[in-house]
Amino acid sequence: MAGYEEGVKAGKMAGKKAGERIGTLCGKRESILLILSDMGSVPEEVHTRIEEETDSDQLGLWLKEAVKASCIDEFVRALF
């Protein structure tokens, strides 16, 4: 029975870590898009690129670029 309980515990920990990772990704995406939307209409291509990104470090870099950008075009130049 101990093996089963250890397996359940390991499964819960893995699920928690996966949920935290997903939450972090969603939060970064949402923050980037919120900052950009304050600058104007976010082009669909840019919106899609941000939503499809799965690398947390990359999203972090884009978040920094979004904060520094004075307009969406400036952000897009940094993005691509």
Structural tokens at position 79? 């993005």
pLDDT tens digit sequence for 32-76: 999 999 999 999 999 999 999 999 999 999 999 999 999 999 999
**Distance separating alpha carbons of residues 79 and 73, to the nearest angstrom:** 10
* Among 7-16, 20-29, 48-57, the least confident range: 7-16
Between 20 and 77, the higher pLDDT residue: 77
Distance of CA 52 to the CA centre of its chain: 9
**Distance separating alpha carbons of residues 3 and 17, to the nearest angstrom:** 21
pLDDT of the residue at 17:
76
pLDDT of the residue at 24:
92
pLDDT of the residue at 22:
84
Q: Which domain holds residue 19?
A: 2-79
* Structural domain total, the chain: 1
